A and B are shown apart, each in its own frame.
Chain A
Amino acid sequence: MRAWRDFVFGLLPISFSLLVTALLIVLVGKDPLEVARVLWSGAFGTSETLASVVNFWIPLTLAALGLVVTFRAGLWNIGVEGQIMIGAVAASGVALYVKGLPSPLLIGLSMAAAVMAGALLGALIGFLKLRLGVNEIFGGVALNALVNVASIYLISGPWQPAEGGSAQATSPFPMDARLPLISPIFPTSLLMLVLTVLAIGLIIRLLSGTRWGLQLKAVGKNPRSALLLGVPTGRSVFSALALCGLLAGLGGAHRVLDTYYSLRPLVSGGIGFLALLVVLLAAMRALWAPLIAFVFAAILGGTTRVRIRLQLDPSLAGVLQGLIVLTVVLFQGIRERYFAHHDESIEEKV
């Protein structure tokens, strides 16, 4: 009975979202089944498309892991989008202008710069919140916009290609600065894949097994009590935001050192916001986030082909993802409100 109900409640919101999306596709005059077919082949059709899904999955998962940490500390880190962007900017700066280093060192330096920049931006949000009283949501939104302005300025100004700027991108990075690929038919970086998997394990372990993780949880549930129980609340908030920025910055480095090989405007492409949705859907659990991130990455990857083949706006991906998260969250509420008689409350797990 219980399992059956779990199954129905798990399936209902997904089916509902798919149905609504199908109706919307009909509304703009396309065939939903055709779209689904192209979407699937766009994600899993060939090893190249699968690699492009993985290339979305890596930054998405890194940002989502960071957000699991900040949510644990009770923070709405909307600034994650800017943290990805600034990571990409920093990595690009190194890749474009540091000369004469052997490739592994150059790549390592790029990634180190990205990680530092992301962590600093995260810490800046913490500073605005703790010292100046600016809520992290607004601080984050503003910093996202500012980083975006800065990146456009760099692309169209100091960093524009020598042959004249189109404001579309910097010049392509030298080969030495690009992450080596697993193979031409599976073009993604082994190093980043390994780092991401390591990050998953690390975050799970940090949150469940350390005093720091427990302190974050305490701060997230009740900062005033946490302070009185001896938790360094300011340090917890700073470290959570900095760690999230660090992971997001690494994701940003991946966007430029693997995917684009140049810096472009809006280089994050909403991956930070999408990561927020992923974490909300995962109910803040570090174990679930990478799995959901994979599904969402597949939708993103598939939509690229939908746009090319069927001339559908790529916002289709966001519509489907947003609908899924919204209905899952609301269905959870419906379930607890109207069908809670036999269910125990859902315990929070890592």
Chain B
Amino acid sequence: MEIVLKNISKRFGAVRANQDISVAFYSGRIVGVLGENGAGKSTLMKILSGFQAADSGEIWLDGQRVRYRGAQEAVRAGLGMLQQDPLDVPAFTVLENFVFGNPNLANPRQKLAELAARFGFHLDADALCGQLSIAQRQQLEIVRLLALGVRALILDEPTTGISAEQKELLFSTLRRLAREEGMTVLLVSHKLEDVIALCDEVIVLRGGRLVGRTSMPTTPQALVAMMFEELSPIDARPSLPLGQTALRVESLHLHVDRLHLHNLNFSLRGGETVGLAGLDGSGQEAFLRVCAGLLRPQRGRVCVGEQDFTHRSYRDFRRAGVYFTAAGRLEEGLIAGLTLTEHVALTDEGDDGAAWINWIDAEKRAAARIARYQVRGQPYSPIETLSGGNQQRVLISLLPEHPRALLLEQPTRGLDVDSTRWIWQQLEARRQQGAGIVFSSAELDELVTYSDRILVFYEGRCVEVADVRQTSADALGHLIGGNF
């Protein structure tokens, strides 16, 4: 399908997400839509696929001007979008998800089996969707959209959180769809290696504008030059002499829902960073929570320093200097409806501070914190009015200066390059003062860049990559798929 966008503009409040973008995509081609977080690529694709309406501009499909209200009309016009978090219903079975929204499908069970077999997908029609991996949910969405007869497919960051094998299967599927069926495929990504591996051509967005278009092959350097105006090099990571054992886990056994961690041993010393890799729900999140006292293991010991903390509460862990932050900032971390000052007053005297709060003093301290952590906001700003990057800065600023250990679940999820680097500067500073850090991430690059060691989780099993210098994001991609 030939897709032509003319002068698309969209703003959210003061932010101009898309400015006057005109671009065409042709049948049988796979086009990468590249740009860093906040460049406007997701907005543009959501406009194209009907999830959002443009403020102005036109969409032409195969020479016809189209106007649609809602994603369903876009699908009917032949355009389907696969969201980063696939828009399925977790409580439905695979088959129910496949049928939902497609009432005229005859013999859906057979159709699902046919489509899945054709692309080598393993989809159990009667499995609950909520129990599938991200990759399987993507596969389900793809066959669902194909059954609806789409002729163009848009994928938003589809390679985050899936293994190397799953990525290869996805890419071969997309290639076949483009070559054999003449489909137009748009791949939204901020990862150069994905785009280089898959795409026929690339468009680059920056600051809401279309800044470049090039055919493949091209060099990563050329793409980077288009994506970023200037890029400061990452500071070299000094290795530190390791300190005392900060946290130790001995023969840990844990069952949560369908996840089983068996006989896991781990220790963290001051001054080192350990990355946790793995597909969503492979055990790394549960492991972090066990280390923080937020989940109780069935067997085994968790020690802080030399002390047994196995059945202690998270508050005890905090008192002992072990702090945890979760991935969802506003769900688990900050409190929507409370101001910055209130967050500071809540946390900064430790957990056992004075009974009475001096609000004038608290506001001064909040202002000082804002200045130091370069937060864009005021002491009286409700926390939910800040941007994601600023929220993460606040979250980091609420951690103490000299913790024993930091346990961080995806500390840079959804942040742009700039914020990510800034967060890591802060974490590195704490490491250099003797803190041990454990973090999980779906970004393999980040794991390789910032870890001294990496634990790879797969279905509750775990292997260690002791020397990160000898590994690459690609090798890690194979490990998280279970090829130990």
Binding site for B on A (CB under 8 A): 209-212, 214-215, 217-218, 221-222, 224-232, 348
Q: A214-B346, A215-B346, A229-B343 are in contact. Are A221 and B338 (CB under 8 A)?
A: yes
Stretch at the interface among B3-11, B214-222, B296-304, B329-337: B329-337
Contact count A vs B, C-beta below 8 Å = 67
C-alpha gap A217/B345 in the complex (Å): 12
**10 nearest interchain CB pairs?**
A230-B351, A221-B337, A222-B335, A224-B332, A225-B335, A221-B335, A230-B318, A218-B335, A229-B347, A225-B333
Query: In the bound complex, do residue A228 and residue B356 qualify as a contact, i.e. CB atoms below 8 Å apart?
Result: no
C-alpha gap A228/B314 in the complex (Å): 8
C-alpha gap A228/B343 in the complex (Å): 12
Report chain A residues within 8 Å CB of B351. 230, 232
C-alpha gap A289/B353 in the complex (Å): 30
A90 to chain B, nearest CB (A): 29
Q: A215-B346, A218-B338 are in contact. Are A230 and B356 (CB under 8 A)?
A: no
Query: In the bound complex, do residue B353 and residue A225 qualify as a contact, i.e. CB atoms below 8 Å apart?
Result: no
Contact of A212 among B294, B318, B332, B355 (CB under 8 A): B355
Query: In the bound complex, do residue A214 and residue B336 qualify as a contact, i.e. CB atoms below 8 Å apart?
Result: no
Contact of B357 among A210, A221, A224 (CB under 8 A): A210
Query: In the bound complex, do residue B337 and residue A228 qualify as a contact, i.e. CB atoms below 8 Å apart?
Result: no
Beyond the given A228-B333, A229-B335, please list 15 additional residue pairs across the A-B interface where CB-CB is below 8 A: A211-B353, A211-B355, A214-B345, A214-B357, A218-B335, A218-B338, A218-B346, A222-B330, A225-B330, A225-B335, A227-B314, A228-B332, A230-B347, A231-B346, A232-B351
| B231 in contact (CB, < 8 A) | no
Report chain A residues within 8 Å CB of B469. none
C-alpha gap A229/B337 in the complex (Å): 15
C-alpha gap A348/B347 in the complex (Å): 21
| B325 in contact (CB, < 8 A) | yes
A316 to chain B, nearest CB (A): 38
B331 to chain A, nearest CB (A): 7
Binding site for A on B (CB under 8 A): 294, 314-315, 318, 324-326, 330-338, 342-343, 345-347, 350-351, 353-357, 398
- Identify the closest chain A residue to B353 (Cβ): A211
29 A–B contact pairs at CB < 8 A? A209-B357, A210-B356, A214-B342, A214-B345, A214-B346, A214-B357, A215-B346, A217-B338, A218-B335, A218-B338, A218-B342, A221-B335, A222-B331, A222-B335, A224-B331, A225-B331, A226-B335, A228-B314, A228-B324, A228-B326, A228-B333, A229-B343, A229-B398, A230-B315, A230-B347, A230-B351, A232-B315, A232-B351, A348-B337
Query: In the bound complex, do residue B355 and residue A210 qualify as a contact, i.e. CB atoms below 8 Å apart?
Result: yes
A227 to chain B, nearest CB (A): 7
C-alpha gap A65/B314 in the complex (Å): 32
Report chain A residues within 8 Å CB of B354. 211
Report chain A residues within 8 Å CB of B353. 211
Report chain A residues within 8 Å CB of B335. 218, 221-222, 225-226, 229
Report chain A residues within 8 Å CB of B355. 210-212
C-alpha gap A210/B362 in the complex (Å): 12
- Identify the closest chain B residue to A347 (Cβ): B382
- Identify the closest chain A residue to B345 (Cβ): A214
A209, A214, A232 interface centre (most CB from chain B within 10 Å): A214
A221, A224, A229 interface centre (most CB from chain B within 10 Å): A229
C-alpha gap A348/B338 in the complex (Å): 10
Report chain A residues within 8 Å CB of B324. 228
Report chain A residues within 8 Å CB of B336. 221-222
C-alpha gap A231/B353 in the complex (Å): 11
A325 to chain B, nearest CB (A): 23
Report chain B residues within 8 Å CB of A222. 330-331, 335-337
Query: In the bound complex, do residue B343 and residue A211 qualify as a contact, i.e. CB atoms below 8 Å apart?
Result: no
C-alpha gap A231/B398 in the complex (Å): 13
Report chain B residues within 8 Å CB of A209. 356-357
C-alpha gap A227/B324 in the complex (Å): 11
C-alpha gap A231/B335 in the complex (Å): 12
Report chain A residues within 8 Å CB of B337. 221-222, 348
C-alpha gap A348/B353 in the complex (Å): 25
Report chain B residues within 8 Å CB of A215. 346
